[in-house]
Amino acid sequence: MLVHIKERWHVFFDDPVISSRMLTLLTLSFHIIYATIGVGVPLMIMIAQWVGIKKNDQHYILLARRWARGFVVTVAVGVVTGTAIALQLSLLWPNFMELAGNVIALPLFMEVFAFFFEAIFLGIYLYTWDRFEDQRKHLMLLIPVAIGAAMSAFFITTVNAFMNAPQGFEMVNGELVNVNPLAAMFNPATPTKIAHVISTAFMTSAFVLASIAAFRLVKGSNHDYHKKALFLTMKVGLVFSIATVIIGDFSGKYLAEYQPEKLAAAEWHFETEEHAPLILFGILNEEYETRYAIEIPSALSILAHGNPSREVIGLNEFPEEETPPLFIHYLFDLMVMIGMFMIGLSLFYWIGVKRNWSFIQTKPFRWLLVLGGPLSLLAIEAGWWMTEFGRQPWILRGIMTTSEAATTSDHVGIMFILFAGLYAILGIGTVVILTRMFRHHPVEKELAKQGGGAK
Amino acid sequence: MSLEIIGISVLWTFLFGYVIVASIDFGAGFFNAYSSFTGKKHILTKIIQRYLSPVWEITNVFLVFFFVGIVGFFPKTAFYYGTTLLVPVSIAIILLAIRGSYYAFETYGSKGHRGYAFMYGLSGLFLPASLSVVLTISEGGFITMVDGAPVLDYWALFTSPLTWSIVVLSVTAVLYISAVFLTWYANQAGDKHAANLLRKYALFWSLPTIITAGGIIYELRFHNEAHFEQLMNVGWMFGISFLLFIGTVWLIWKRRHYGIAFGLLVGQFAFAFYGYGISHYPYLLYPHLTIYDGFTNETMAISLIIAFLAGFLLLIPSLYLVLRLFLFDKDYVKGLSETKGGSQNE
């Protein structure tokens, strides 16, 4: 056992391909948490500010400010880890960037502009807090922040979509010719990917903020402020989780059409057949037989083509060295289950508020709401792992494999350790600072300082 | 003007922008830490925080802009520099991460922790050192091609006097640029104590800056003769740069027109920076990579330039707004707008 671990360790250190993949996985998995919050929270702040102005209710204005205050800390970590991944693209995948840079430099460049735009207005918003009497001016400053955040998600996701469905160029003797940057940006994977990324970011951020409000209520506060916060965030979360499911269905149809091997691996669908069943849960044994799974007849055909009798391409049609790893099935299940659960939870809560059910005010139910935020973040991670492992062995599907793209440098293993340490510090730091920040400034105190607050 | 020249000029300008804003930022962190260890914290911290808070995030974007741009315009740089720079650039990323996050953690979380201030100040000095290594490597002689892949000779890099001169220059220049800017900023704020202290720092760091800058030109003669000769062809630019330097120091010495002094300083570094850049032409990495063989396809170059212009139409008014609200707003600079009850900094 020990020898085995030691061997693995050596392979990890000696093979830059493996260690580059692991370091990229580590950086992105960490960055995605902050990036998701970075895209979604500005919208939530904007909504709270807007509701506050419309209802003339100080609670919502304060909500916007308190969220913004915590947001700065997550933005800081998001910015530095984003800088890390932007540089690591060239450091760990130099051959990929040399080739693909000819086609995707435009969206990368524009992403930086969007980020720049957001950074400027976020700075202005945070430091002009008490300069303007008119709350609408603060709302005007928030609009470019939210737009910039969504636009940077838009541009960077087109790059990822391009890696899944490369187009916009021709390969002639290993050289790229007839490059069309816009065709590369708006490839077949782009619409579903962008819609899915943005709606899940909104959904997740809403549920994360709902978690905080629910947590305060669980901990004994009974202030109107937290109840308003919870209702607002759950409502927004419900809207975007429904949107996510609809877009998820379109993503399935995209995969069936353009990346059938990813869909087949995620569904353990080996034989090409009509009336293809959807497989839920289960485990796969060494003979590629599924055990303990729930099969829903024809459901995969419906997911893939919207028609129960249509044929779905199976994994056996692809050469073995071009198929993705089969564990992505678990990630797919995890993502879908959490998504469904969140719709059910938020719908139940919403109806409960409308009908005055006392159940939604019980502790156990509120604990479920607290769980919603972390669960949504887990679904984000699972979804990204599924889509990224699902295009292995390619870095550019059909054109360049991951091992052709990696660096030849010998030092990636040690860099992995350094970055792992860094992310541990940043992760712990974020949690410590955020809890301390809000513990030292409870809402009740802040409202009292404002002169009692409205209502 | 060819697309290659436009591309590299745009990027060089962004790098210059980063050098100035990042120097102010790095130096400010150092002076802040230094002052808290010499018992002068009360004089400097307020003025420094007031400047840094709204802009720290913007500073970072300049750097990201530069390297995304260079890989965009010159994808082959990803191959040469990406492969060889793994270690120094990873260290720079980690230092940037520590700086950026701790700044936010400290400002918004727990205030005034000495350890944080110390790390923040120190990382600001290591950063220019680790980033300036790229300039040394671009002079050639440190990268060999093994089996078609570039390999960096760390030993040659660490033992080269050129490396260390560039490192020393980057650190002293950071402190000098920062001190001159902050002198002006403190004076604007009407903070006489801070302005006087920073004025002393500015004068102190001016001398090593100009000496090492001269020394590097001398060393290049032995390291890369071709480059040295081209440097001499644009010698007049360095001459102007030197005169502007004298102007800055004289104004600061006489305690007059700090704003103009900072303007002259920007001019001084602009002439030196562009003079250096022009003399480096046409190499991105001597002698492996020129701006011509590393350039992207024409379609991409044109779209990047269009995106760049469109982006700038968006950014210039926004940056102007930032300057008006924070740098040239008397109330903000003097700290008056905060007293109305800004609670975010508690």
Taking the C-alpha atoms of residue A360 and residue B291, their distance in angstroms, rounded to an integer, is 65
CB of A426 less than 8 A from some CB of B: yes
B323 SS3 class: helix
Q: Which two tokens stand for residue B220?
A: 């290049």
- The tokens describing A212, both together, are 């905080």
Q: What percent of chain A has pLDDT over 90?
A: 26
Instruction: Please tell me the distance from the alpha carbon of residue A128 to that of residue A67, in angstroms, as a whole number.
Output: 16
The β-bridge partners of A295 are A279
Which residue shows structure tokens 């719709």?
A: A343
Over 60: is that where the pLDDT of A455 sits?
Answer: no
DSSP letter for A276, please.
P
Each residue's pLDDT tens digit, B78-100: 888 888 888 888 888 898 888 88
Residues sharing a CB contact under 8 Å with residue A1, sequence separation 6 or more, in sequence order: none
Residues β-bridged to residue A400: A396
Mutation for testing the A interface, residue in B63, B101, B131 having most A CBs under 10 Å: B101
In a domain, B346, yes or no: no
Residue identified by tokens 């998820």 is A248
**Contact between B307 and A110 using a beta-carbon 8 Å cutoff:** yes
The answer to whether the Cβ–Cβ distance between A179 and B85 falls below 8 Å is no
Contact between residue A236 and residue A301 where contact means Cβ atoms under 8 Å apart: no
Residue A442, C-beta contacts closer than 8 angstroms, at least 6 positions apart: none
Query: Is B256 part of any domain?
Result: yes
Interface membership of A91 toward B (CB under 8 Å): yes
Angle at A155 between CA A154 and CA A158, to 5 degrees: 90
Which residue, among B108, B153, B340, would best test binding to A if mutated, counting the most A CBs under 10 Å from its CB?
Answer: B108
- pLDDT, tens digit, 9 for 90 and up, residues A82-134: 889 988 988 888 888 888 888 888 898 888 888 888 888 888 888 777 677 77
Chain A residues with CB-CB distance to B133 below 8 A: none
Confidence of residue A318 (pLDDT cuts 50, 70, 90): confident
Strand blocks (E) in A302-362 = none
Give me the pLDDT at residue A451, please.
Answer: 55
Identify the pLDDT of residue B346: 32
Residue type, B255: R
Question: Please, which residues have CB within 8 angstroms of residue B303's CB and are 6 or more apart in sequence?
Answer: A106, A181, A182
Model pLDDT, residue A203: 94
Asked whether the beta carbons of A321 and A366 are under 8 A apart, the reply is: no
Q: Is it true that the peptide bond before B161 is cis, omega within 30 degrees of 0?
A: no
| Subunit contact B97:A109, Cβ cutoff 8 A | no
Q: Phi first, then psi: what are they for A396, rounded to 5°?
A: -120, 105
- A178 in helix, strand or coil? coil
Enumerate residues 50 to 79 of chain A having a beta carbon within 8 A of any beta carbon in chain B: 65, 69, 72-73, 75-77, 79
pLDDT value at A13 more than 60: yes
Within the 156-195 window of chain B, which residues sit less than 8 Å (CB to CB) from chain A? none
Structural domain includes residue B94: yes
Cβ atoms of A87 and B77 closer than 8 Å: no
Any chain A CB within 8 A of the CB of B67?
yes
B92 lies in some domain: yes
Nearest-neighbour CA in chain A from B142: distance (Å): 15
| CB-based contacts of B215, cutoff 8 Å, min separation 6 | B165
pLDDT of residue A25: 92
Name the token pair of B344: 């975010």
Minimal C-alpha gap between B118 and chain A (Å): 17
CA distance A123 to B103: 14
Strand-pairing partners, residue B150, are B145
Torsion of CA B155, B156, B159, B163, to 10 degrees: -120
Which pLDDT score is estimated for A286? 65
Q: Per mean pLDDT, which range of A178-192, A194-208, A366-380, A404-418 is the poorest?
A: A404-418
Tokens of B145: 């091609």
Pick from A368-382, A440-454, B87-101, B203-217: least confident: A440-454
Q: Do B105 and A72 touch (CB under 8 A)?
A: no
Quote the tokens at residue A404: 């052709």
Q: How far apart are CA B20 and CA B24, in angstroms?
A: 6
The dihedrals phi and psi of A172, each to the nearest 5 degrees, come to: -125, 115
Region B9-31: mean pLDDT is: 87
Domain, as residue range, for B293: 3-334
Residue A120: what pLDDT?
Answer: 83
Going along A141-266, which residue ranges are E strands? 170-172, 175-177
Q: Is residue B340 part of a domain?
A: no
- In terms of Cβ atoms closer than 10 Å to its own Cβ (0-12, 13-18, 19+), residue B316 is exposed
Asked whether residue B344 carries a pLDDT value surpassing 50, the answer given is: no
Contact B115, A440 (CB under 8 A): no
* Residue A156 scores a pLDDT above 70: yes
pLDDT at A208 over 90: yes
- Look at residues B205, B186, B209 and name the one whose alpha carbon lies nearest to residue B40: B186
Q: Tell which of A73, A79, A404 to mutate to test the B interface (max B CBs under 10 Å).
A: A79
The Cα diameter of chain A in Å comes to 73
Report the number of distinct structural domains present in chain B: 1
Interchain pair B67, A94: CB under 8 A: no
Q: Does A420 touch chain B (CB under 8 A)?
A: no
Rounded Cα distance between A383 and B159, Å, is 48
CA–CA dist B4, B304 (Å, integer): 12
Q: What DSSP letter does each residue of B49-115 carry, written as one string?
A: HHHHHHHHHHHHHHHHHHHHHHHHH-THHIIIIIHH-HHHHHHHHHHHHHHHHHHHIIIIISTT-HH
Alpha carbon A313 to chain centroid, angstroms: 28
* C-beta of residue B275 within 8 angstroms of C-beta of residue B237: yes
Tokens of B192: 């006489």
B211 HSE (CA, 13 A, CB side): 7
- Chain B residues whose beta carbon lies within 8 Å of the beta carbon of residue A182: 303
Task: For residue A433, give the chain B residue with the closest CA.
Answer: B109
Partner A, chain B 76-135, Cβ-Cβ below 8 Å: 76-87, 89-91, 93-94, 96-98, 100-105, 108-110
* pLDDT the model gives residue B98: 84
Query: For residues B216 and B228, is the Cβ–Cβ distance under 8 A?
Result: no
What is the C-alpha to C-alpha distance for residues A86 and A80, in angstroms, rounded to an integer? 10
Q: Which DSSP state fits A295?
A: E
Which residues of B are less than 8 Å from A105 in CB distance?
68, 71-73, 75, 296, 300, 304
For the beta carbon of residue A381, count every other beta carbon within 10 angstroms.
18
pLDDT on residue A375: 94
CB contact under 8 A, B63 and A102: no
- 3-state DSSP of A193-223: HHHHHHHHHHHHHHHHHHHHHHHHHHCCCCC
Give the one of A121, A176, A419 whose C-beta lies nearest to B297's C-beta: A176
Do the Cβ atoms of A117 and B85 come within 8 Å? no
pLDDT at site B343: 38
Chain A residues with beta carbon closer than 8 angstroms to that of B103: 76
Contact A139, A46 (CB under 8 A): yes
Measured between beta carbons, the chain A residues lying within 8 angstroms of B57 are 75-76, 79, 119, 122-123
Residue A212 has pLDDT above 80, yes or no: yes
Q: Confirm if B21 and B55 have CB atoms less than 8 A apart.
A: yes
3-state secondary structure of B150: strand
Does B71 reach chain A within 8 Å, measured CB to CB? yes
Question: Distance (Å) from the C-alpha of residue A180 to the closest C-alpha of chain B?
Answer: 7
Residues in Cβ contact with A17 at an 8 Å cutoff, skipping those fewer than 6 apart: A402, A403, A406
Helix axes A58-92, A135-164, angle to 10 degrees: 30
The residues, any chain, with a CB within 8 Å of residue A170's CB and separated by 6 or more, are A176, A177, A178
Query: Measuring CA to CA, which residue among A13, A21, A14, A22 is closest to residue A404?
Result: A21
Q: At residue A274, does pLDDT exceed 80?
A: no
- The amino acid at residue A380 is I
What was the pLDDT predicted at B339?
39
Of A26-35, A443-452, B36-45, B153-162, which gets the smallest average pLDDT? A443-452
B322 to chain A, any CB pair closer than 8 A? The answer is: yes
Task: Report if residue B341 sits inside a domain.
Answer: no
- Closest-CA distance, A432 to chain B, in angstroms, reads 9
**Is residue B173 included in any domain, yes or no?**
yes
Is 50 exceeded by the pLDDT of residue B340? no
Closest CA to B151 of A407, A12, A98: A407
Give the contacts of B113 (CB within 8 A, at least 6 positions apart): B106
For residue A281, what are the β-bridge partners?
A293
User: Counting beta carbons within 10 angstroms of the beta carbon of residue A393, is it exposed (0 to 12), middle (13 to 18) or buried (19 or more)?
Assistant: middle
Alpha helix (H) residue ranges in A93-134? 94-127
Average pLDDT for residues A361-365, to the nearest whole number? 82
- Per-window interface: A 140-159 vs B, CB < 8 A: 144
Assess whether pLDDT exceeds 70 at residue B109. no
Q: Is residue B20 part of a domain?
A: yes
